[in-house]
């Protein structure tokens, strides 16, 4: 349980940073941030493996770069599911997904046990 909450907080922090530094993500309020990061985490657990399975040949052919496209699609889907969490365009979702991946990795590296 502690690991889930910690990952959720790290993802929330990364989304908050990307939303405040860039214009890629628009967060209306704190509730949208928390709900958006929760939905993103849930989709990453359940939907992302299914998408990875069905796009495995394309992912292998692009040497794993297609995973970034999948991350962008999942992030873009969150903007449809959560009101107040807006991403205007798939291109911005792809760039935001790249930045979120980098920030989440850095934050996890800093706070690891």
Structure tokens at 94: 């792809």
One pLDDT digit (tens) per residue for the chain, 113 residues: 668 888 888 899 999 999 999 999 999 999 999 999 999 999 999 999 999 999 999 999 999 999 999 999 999 999 999 999 999 999 999 999 999 999 988 988 888 75
Cα–chain center distance at 16: 11
Which pTM value belongs to this model?
0.90
Place of tokens 């449809």: 80
């Amino acid at each position: 349980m502690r690991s889930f909450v910690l990952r959720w907080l790290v993802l929330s922090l990364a989304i908050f940073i990307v939303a405040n530094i860039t214009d890629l993500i628009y967060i209306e309020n704190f509730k949208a941030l928390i709900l958006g990061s929760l939905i993103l985490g849930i989709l990453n657990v359940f939907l992302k493996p299914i998408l990875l399975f069905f796009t495995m040949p394309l992912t292998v052919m692009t040497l794993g770069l297609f995973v970034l496209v999948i991350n962008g699609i999942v992030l873009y889907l969150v903007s449809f599911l959560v009101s107040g969490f807006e991403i205007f365009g798939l291109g911005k979702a792809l760039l935001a997904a790249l930045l979120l991946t980098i920030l989440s990795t850095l934050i996890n590296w800093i706070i690891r046990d």
